Structure 1
Amino acid sequence: MNLRSIELALPGAAEAHRWMIDVWGAADGGHIGDTWYLRGSGTFPYLVAISENAEQFVRSTTFVCSPERLQGVARAAEARGLNAAPCVSSDPGGGTGIVVELAEGELLRFLTGATEVAPIDTHAKASRKVMPVKLTHVVFNSADAEASGDLAEAVLDFRVSDRTKGMVFVRCNTSHHSTAFARAGFSSLNHVAFEMDDLDAVMRGIGNMRDHGFTPAWGPGRHGPGDNVYAYYIAPFGPVIEYSTAVEKVAEDYAAGAPDDWTWPEKRIDQWGVSDKDLAGLRVAEEAFRFRREWTPAPLNLPVGA
């Protein structure tokens, strides 16, 4: 299973789409109706969908998987009595699957049969373009992060990788985390992380953002859990977005760490300790995108896609 995309709704979708291309470095993935798509240099047809709406909210976060994994999620969701429904994707790449609503409203879509596209060569010129490859993780704020992590393990067959004082990190494959649940006391989108080619690409991204008048809300730095390099920004249209690279790959028997395993010296909040964090600004941005179900729950006891 792999994390593929996030689908957002917000006012000024076309303008947000253009900013993500002109400033952030994403590539144009086209548009269908009032939904605009952004892709990276990798093989997924899009990473972010932005739909025009009077209000801002998270429509879904999409994973692609095998038919067998899809059926397992469907059975477990139905057994737990979660809101869920079969779906057919009308987004680029297509595919069929299910949408599942977790206990705090997080909306996860699982697709099988989705197609991919040819990658974009970002190394063709000497002055390489700043462009993300794919999404590396989508993090949610949670009223009860432990319960959310437990549910992800029981229903989605994800695995908790680590626990810190701030988050429960969860993986769906060998990458240390494809999502995490922040101990925020409320439910919403925390941030969306874009995978860059390497450390140099992250730093060039920071330089490019500075050229456009944007400074990091947090970073650059290197996290403990996952060991990834990061730089967080508050996008002008609302959400927190991150340049990241080199999230740790872990084995099946990786032992989940506890909060006391991830501590820093006083006044440090990451391994490097070289940057400040705009706690107030990030907090406001992290509350901006809640979850909204736009579909009607339906029985999942029939073959998905039939």
Structure 2
Amino acid sequence: MRLRSIELALPDPAAAAAFMTDVWGMAPAGVEGETHYLRGSGTFPYLVAFARSEREFVRSTTFVCDADDLAAIAAKVAAAGWPARAVTSSDPGGGEGYVVELPDGELLRFLVGAGEVAPIAGADLPVKLTHVVFNASDAEASGHAVEDVLGFTVSDRTKGMVFVRCNDSHHSTAFARAGFASLNHVAFEMADIDAVMRGIGRLRDHGAVPAWGPGRHGPGANVYAYYIAPFGPVIEFSTAVEKVPEDYVAGAPEDWTWPPNRIDQWGISDKDFDGLRQAEERFRFHREWDAEPLHV
């Protein structure tokens, strides 16, 4: 299973798309009605979709999987009684599967048969999404829920987050111990550290400085630089997320501590705690569909 894309609703999708292409560094992947699709250099047809809405919310986060994975998810979702319905995607790449509402409101879409596209050149294009992180009212409960029902695996626990994987990448998502449910941030996988640093330079040319970073995380060991996008959410340049074996032993909060005044491996990172917190509260979850029984 692989994380593919996130679909956001917001009042001015054209402005959001312009920032993400002209400044952040993505490539346009088409416009359908008032929905803008943006891609990276990899084989997914798009990584981000911006749809027009008077309110801001996360429409869905999309994973692609095989038929066996999808059947297992459907059976366990039905048994758990989570709201869900069958879907046929009208987004680029198509595919069909299920959209599922987690107990905290997160909306995850699982597709089979979704098409891919030829990669494109671009050293400063994101390759793909590396992770989408959610704030949770109860991060431990969310971690257990996706393990039990979706077949994900908890990789690590810190005092701030529960990190979860769906393949050998250390985390494709995580649940922050926030006390409320919303989008925490979206991380874009860059080709290498140089691409991350060039991205920081490009944002600097446009008058933007990181809200957190640059630095290197503990869990996942990825290099990062976080920004607060002008259209609201927290977005991240990232690279080199750790690959972990199936028998990787999940760490506990006491395994991930830093010396005083440090918040990452390198010890050079500053963080705009207040600004990030405000941005992390903006994009909540809103279900636009009615649940239907899953016939499994």
TM over 0.5: yes
Question: Displacement of 1:249 after TM fit?
Answer: 0.2
Matched ranges for 1:93-108 at <5 A:
93-108=93-108
- Give the match for residue 120 of structure 1: 120
Taking the TM superposition and a 5 Å limit, the aligned residue runs for 1:189-268 are 189-268=183-262
Q: Is it true that 1:168 corresponds to 2:162 in the alignment? A: yes
In 2, Cα distance between equivalents of 1:249 and 1:104: 28
How far did 1:121 drift?
A: 1.4
Q: What is the alpha-carbon distance in structure 2 between the residues aligned to residue 156 and residue 34 of structure 1?
A: 32
* 1:34 shift after superposition: 1.2
Aligned-residue offset at 1:264: 0.1
Please name the residue that 1:125 is paired with: none
Q: Percent of pairs identical after alignment?
A: 71
Report what 2:293 is aligned to.
299
Corresponding residue of 2:16: 16
Could you say which residue in structure 2 is the equivalent of 1:43? Answer: 43
Amino acid paired to 1:279? F
Q: C-alpha separation between the residues in 2 aligned to 1:163 and 1:275?
A: 21
2:51 is aligned with 1:57: no
Taking the aligned partners of 1:61 and 1:203, their CA distance within structure 2 comes to: 27
- SS of the residue 1:160 aligns to: strand
Q: Find the aligned partners of 2:143 and 2:240 in 1 and give their Cα distance.
A: 23
Counterpart Cα distance in 1 of 2:74 and 2:148:
12
Alpha-carbon distance in 1 for matches of 2:150, 2:266? 34
For residue 93 of structure 1, give the secondary structure of its aligned residue in structure 2.
coil
Letter in 2 for 1:112: V
Where 1:97 maps in the other structure, the secondary structure is strand
Runs (4 or more) in structure 1 with deviation over 3 Å come to none
SS of 1:72's equivalent in the other structure is helix
Kindly provide the CA deviation profile for residues 255-300 of structure 1, in whole angstroms up to 9, marking residues without a partner as x. 0000000000001111011021000000000000000001110111
Distance 1:301 1:115 in 2: 25
SS at match of 1:111: strand
What SS class does the counterpart of residue 169 from structure 1 fall into? strand
- Unpaired runs of at least 5, structure 2: none
> Which residue does the alignment assign to 1:26?
26
1:132 and 2:139 matched: no
Task: Please name the residue that 1:156 is paired with.
Answer: 150
Alignment of 1:92 onto 2:100: no
**Separation (CA, whole Å) in 2 of partners of 1:19 and 1:249:** 31
> Deviation of residue 40 (structure 1)?
0.2
- Structural mapping, 1:173-184, within 5 Å: 173-184=167-178
Kindly tell me the number of residue pairs found equivalent between the two proteins: 296
- Give a deviation string over 1:40-71, Cα, whole Å, max 9, x none: 00000000000011110000000000011001
1:131 to partner: Cα distance: 1.1
Q: Measure the CA separation in 2 of the matches of 1:259 and 1:19.
A: 37
After superposition, what is the alpha-carbon deviation per residue over 1:134-174, rounded to whole angstroms, capped at 9, x for unaligned?
Answer: 00000000010000000010111000000000000000000
Q: Could you tell me how far 1:90 is from its partner in structure 2?
A: 0.3
CA RMSD of aligned residues (A): 0.6
Point out where structure 1 has 5 or more consecutive residues left out of the alignment: 123-127
Amino acid at match of 1:11: P
Inter-partner Cα distance in structure 1 for 2:33 and 2:62:
20
TM-score (norm 2): 0.99
Query: Which residue in the other structure is 2:279 paired with?
Result: 285
Q: Normalising by the residue count of structure 1, what TM-score does the alignment of the two structures yield?
A: 0.96
